[in-house]
Structure 1
Amino acid sequence: MTGIVDRLDEVHREVGSRSVADSEARTVLLRRTFDAAVGEVWDACTDPERIGRWFLPVRGELRPGGHYQLEGNAGGEILRCDPPSLLRVSWLFGENPGFSEVEVRFTADGEDRTVFELEHVAVVPAEFWAQFGPGAVGVGWDMGLLGLYLHLRGSSIDDPAAWQESDEAREFMTRSSAAWGVAHAASGAAPEAVEAAVRGTTEAYVPAR
């Protein structure tokens, strides 16, 4: 599918940290503009039938205070829902998850454009951060934004599982990992730490054949 890898250049990435419940949480932020009205982007991100078409099947009580579960992935509580501008959920995965939340912000840029921001805030074990850095979740979110971009254009990847094994997907994930390395460095991380994290993330997402 022509141009998929180029979509990475349309995303702004930031890496940071903040204090959460007496712990240091890591933050990753993605920002991009979609050529669609804010109500359309909001609907694509909150309607369960549509979420299943570009991201993952979801079930649960999809209302403020309710709980959701993405198939084979994270689940949690819907913490805040302010249509069509803000959605915040806890993002929990595994048997003993720590603090992890995702907030998505939608801002109209005229009638037919939307500035989309996704911020993931999580308390991450030091050894995990040293091994993978922000790319551990960043590459996955880049792939999610790719799915949303295609969905809003009325398109999709026919067989996502097969596509992830393709040369195009491997290039996408490799370049995404490198892009998160650039954002990591911009946050003040030491060059050797950035290099190690990019290497660890790339090897995890794009194992040698």
Structure 2
Amino acid sequence: MNIVDEINSVIRKITTSGDSHRVVLERGFDTDAADLWDACTSSQRLSRWFEPVRGDLALGGRYSLTSSGTEGDILRCEPTRHLTITWEYQGNVSHVDVDLIPAGIERTVLRLTHHVPPGDHWETYGPAATGVGWEEALRTLSLHLAGDARGATEEMEEFAGTPEGQQLIRRVADAWGGADHEAGTPAGDAHARAARTAAFYLGRA
């Protein structure tokens, strides 16, 4: 896996509006919107690259991710275009928007916006805590769509423990630190928050 290509494949942005921070990721995929939508909403396909999911996967339904314990409600569902869900984990509630944007023949951009409430977790880890996790998911999705066996969740977990995987985590966290600084956080604070995130993902926190 080419680390530089992985870093450059994602556009990272942070904005603040009202009482929430918006962590935004964009990544392009070599497939059409219908296939990308199916990969993101089909329980069978989600279990292959993300997590096993249960529930009523339709507008107004409620889902649960069986591995992490995350659950939530499906607030908006516009097939092949837009999805909005609540993201409820250990008593914390946030929102996730997913937009699929056609970018030519057999090319679609996925924009994921995670609306994160302020609090101690944000002050400690900043946007990297959210961004690193979602980048791992989008990386696995890219492999799944390409039919690459490394897209299996077990394979990606093994990769994360390799020197290359650990370097990628550090580089991604650092990239989010840069985006954090561009959004207005002082450079020293942004770097420190990104470093704490990397340590957490590497099991050194």
Q: What range describes the TM-score normalised by the shorter chain of this pair?
A: over 0.9
- Listed one character per residue, the Cα deviations across residues 8-66 of structure 1 (whole Å, up to 9, x for unaligned) are 211000011111xxxx2111000121111111111111111001111111111111110
Counterpart in the other structure of 2:97? 103
Partners of 1:83 and 1:182 in 2: how far apart? 34
Q: Contact conserved, 2:72 with 2:87, CA < 8 A, in 1?
A: yes
Once the two structures are superposed, the pairs formed by residues 123-134 of structure 1 within 5 Å of their partners are 123-125=117-119, 127-134=120-127
The answer for the alignment partner of 1:144 in structure 2 is 137
* Structure 2: gaps of 5 or more residues: none
Which residue identity does 1:156 align to in structure 2? A
Inter-partner Cα distance in structure 2 for 1:5 and 1:154: 22
Q: Are 1:80 and 2:76 an aligned pair? A: yes
Relative to the length of structure 2, the TM-score reads 0.92
Match of 2:35 in 1: 40
Trace 1:1-209 onto structure 2 (pairs within 5 A): 2-3=1-2, 6-19=5-18, 24-73=19-68, 74-94=70-90, 96-98=91-93, 100-125=94-119, 127-157=120-150, 159-208=155-204
After superposition, the C-alpha distances for 1:112-134 in whole angstroms (9 at most, x for unaligned) are 10011000002131x22221000
1:108 corresponds to which letter in structure 2? P
Quickly say closer, same or farther: Cα 1:138–1:28, change in 2 above 3 A: same
TM-score when scaled to structure 1? 0.91
User: Cα RMSD between the aligned structures?
Assistant: 1.4
Does structure 2 retain, via aligned residues, the 8 Å contact 1:130–1:193? no
Q: What per-residue deviation string (whole Å, max 9, x for no partner) do you get for residues 127-167 of structure 1?
A: 22221000111100010010111011011325333222111
Q: 2: CA distance between counterparts of 1:50 and 1:4?
A: 26
